Structure 1
Amino acid sequence: MVQRLPLKLSLGFIFLLELLFFACGNTNVAIDETSSFPESGWIQKQPVQFEVTVEDSLVNYALYVVVRQNNAYPFYNLYFSPSIMDGQGKIVQRGLAEAILYDPTTGKPKGAGFGDIYEKNFLVYPSLKFPKNGKYKIQLDQSMRVDTLAGMVSIGLRLEKK
């Protein structure tokens, strides 16, 4: 005679297996890092840099920037400039991006929130190609024309193989 597990127990077991499967990590992620700011905010003259090693230059990558801000952030948007530099410091790609953090009409924050901190992912480069394998630096500069951008908690970078 086969003994069956109660439905609640089998659903819990399936959930734990899925959690274990997804917690093992995504092999398509080349970098997933965050840099926190001091309590005063993001200082314009202090860009944020991330280092990444590209092992397959034949693959396209998607570059996401993760922005975390609190209610002290004074604007509805954020302009930032992503730059990608090779191992010798030569700029491979440079751009200007805009992140809409709050609804301009209602003022409600976009993204997920906990307490007064909100987080939103922005796809900056949907199909990024590196010229060759090796080490690269990805630099983010705030371009808001404010010396210290209050309310910025952290900024992160996620680079995924497509």
Structure 2
Amino acid sequence: MRKLASVVAGLGMLLSLASCDQNQVFEQNLDLDKYVWTVQQKPAFTFDIQDTTQRYDIYFNVRNQSVYGYYNLYVKHTLQEPSGKRVSQLLHQMLLMDPQTGEPRGQGSGDIFDHQFLALRQQQFHQTGTYKIILEQYMRQDQLPGIMAVGVRVAKTAN
């Protein structure tokens, strides 16, 4: 019985270590006030880059409730280098629900769903320092009820 318990504990430890992402450089999520993303709210995230020879994937995280009224979400990002100069600015469409069926996408249960979208693939940073990425909701509505949180994840591109 003791052997079985120690084997199970050992397997649990291995699984938890395997789930750690060694490539992750940064991840942060911000809860939105009253679970509404207004046009005025422009969440900003800062992260440090030390290795300019490495390429990075940048993901956007979105948590929404099933009461969100659209199947998609348009988000504009602005990426700034340490000097404040704009590196890139793009508009992204993220599908939170299937356009035909309305079935929620992402991971979740009940009426809350988490999504992670690859926004910038193999981004190269040309100088070390602190970068800033600003997210803006770009829908045709000033307030988006049902968007609970947004975030950014930066990870080294897997070779």
Same topology, TM > 0.5: yes
> 2:17 matched to 1:21?
yes
Q: How does 1:120-131 map to 2 (within 5 A)?
A: 120-131=115-126
Which residue number in structure 2 is paired with residue 99 of structure 1? 94
Measure, in 2, the Cα distance between the counterparts of 1:40 and 1:138: 21
Structure 2 residue 8 is the aligned partner of structure 1 residue 12: yes
> Counterpart of 2:142?
147
TM-score by length of structure 2 reads 0.90
Trace 1:65-144 onto structure 2 (pairs within 5 A): 65-144=60-139
Give the aligned CA root-mean-square deviation in angstroms: 1.8
Matches within 5 A, 1:54-65: 54-65=49-60
Give aligned-pair identity as a percent: 31
Contact 1:40 1:148 in 2 (8 A): no
Aligned positions, number: 157
2:151 aligned to 134, 137, 156, which one? 156
Which structure's residues are more often strand, by fraction?
A: 2
Shift, 1:45, TM fit: 1.7
Instruction: Say which SS state the counterpart of residue 96 (structure 1) adopts.
Output: strand
Please give the alpha-carbon distance, in whole angstroms, between the structure 2 residues aligned to 1:79 and 1:98: 5
Moved more, 94-103 or 40-49: 40-49
TM-score (norm 1): 0.89
| Per-residue deviation, 1:9 | 2.9
Name the SS of the counterpart of 1:18 in structure 2.
Answer: helix
Structure 1 unmatched ranges of 5 or more? none
CA contact (8 A) 2:35 2:148 kept: no
Say whether the 8 Å CA contact 2:35–2:149 is kept in structure 1.
Answer: no
Larger radius of gyration: 1
Matched, 1:38 2:24: no
Give the distance between the partners of 1:37 and 1:85, measured in 2 at CA: 23
The runs of 4+ residues in structure 1 deviating greater than 6 Å are none
